[in-house]
Structure 1
Amino acid sequence: MSGTTRQQKYAKLIQKELSEIFQRDKRGILDNAFVTIADVRMNPDLSVAKIYISMLLAKEKGKVLERINRRKSEIRKALGNKIGKQVRIIPELIFYKDEVQESAIRMDDIIKNLQIPPEKKD
């Protein structure tokens, strides 16, 4: 996480509250997918939050992300209800699929399948 201390505090607050919103998903947005907020990055004026989510138990991750993006105004409103008294501006939410975990699994598989010959001693 980079940015000023203010951006970092704001990002942590949003990450915590969005995690709770998704955990209590009463709107049916997630369709039984287990969603975690991997990272939140704020722009300098705190008006935009880039939210990176990872999805477990989701058959079609693209559709879950699409559903979240379609209903982001509802999510933003729920976030505003939770943090509205603590902050001046409720940021615009932009959701991205976090691909760090998938990349790590792919790299781990590549490393496991490497055929490295033993070193010859002279």
Structure 2
Amino acid sequence: MAKHRHNEGPSQRQLRVGELIRRTLSDVLMRGDIHDPDLSGRSITVGEVRTSPDLKVATAFVLPLGGRDVEVVLEALNRNRGELRRVVGKALTLKFAPELRFRADETFDRIDEARELFADPKVSRDVTE
């Protein structure tokens, strides 16, 4: 009988494969192996990669340095996702290379929002009491 995982979060295998994909994408983008004018000369951070439970889909959360031209970078990554998938497939020892999806990494925006919230005098008063 199959085990059903409800609200348990990602498995160790999902986390491990996601991290391998993250490192591979980071290396490829850092070296400039993808020849696209919208990607060349840009520093792109791959903050996290989340994989589906069956490891067939991997969503990479990316952010260009300075947070500028996010849409241009996302379009370029999506245009080149076939080539990126082949590179990831060679680096991994999986039966199938996962379909790659790219999303803007909004982690830094949320951190800034949290800082602003904690800087509010009402909130800081409540936290210190």
TM-score between both structures, scaled by the size of structure 1:
0.78
Question: Is the CA contact (8 Å cut-off) linking 2:60 and 2:102 kept in structure 1?
Answer: yes
Supply the AA of the counterpart residue of 2:110: S
1:94 corresponds in structure 2 to 101
Higher Cα radius of gyration: 1
Tell me how far 1:115 sits from its aligned partner: 5.4
Higher relative contact order, chain-length normalized (CA < 8 Å, sep 6+): 1
Structure 2 unpaired stretches of 5+: 1-8
Is 1:76–2:108 an aligned residue pair? no
Question: Is the CA contact (8 Å cut-off) linking 1:32 and 1:57 kept in structure 2?
Answer: no
1:20 corresponds in structure 2 to 27
> Which residues in structure 2 correspond to 1:104-115 (within 5 Å)?
104-109=111-116, 111-112=118-119, 114=120
Query: Can you list the C-alpha shifts for 1:50-82, whole angstroms capped at 9, x where unaligned?
Result: 111122145311111111111111111222233
Identity of aligned residues (%): 27
Q: Secondary structure of the equivalent of 2:83? A: helix
Question: Is the CA contact (8 Å cut-off) linking 1:34 and 1:58 kept in structure 2?
Answer: no
Question: Is the CA contact (8 Å cut-off) linking 2:32 and 2:41 kept in structure 1?
Answer: no
TM-score between both structures, scaled by the size of structure 2:
0.75
Q: Distance in 1 between matches of 2:96 and 2:72?
A: 29
Provide the alpha-carbon RMSD of the alignment.
2.1
Q: Secondary structure of the equivalent of 1:94? A: strand
Query: Equivalent of 2:58, from 43, 49, 53?
Result: 49
Structure 1 or 2: larger helix share?
2
Q: Distance in 2 between matches of 1:90 and 1:5?
A: 18
Structure 1 unpaired stretches of 5+: none
Aligned residues: 113
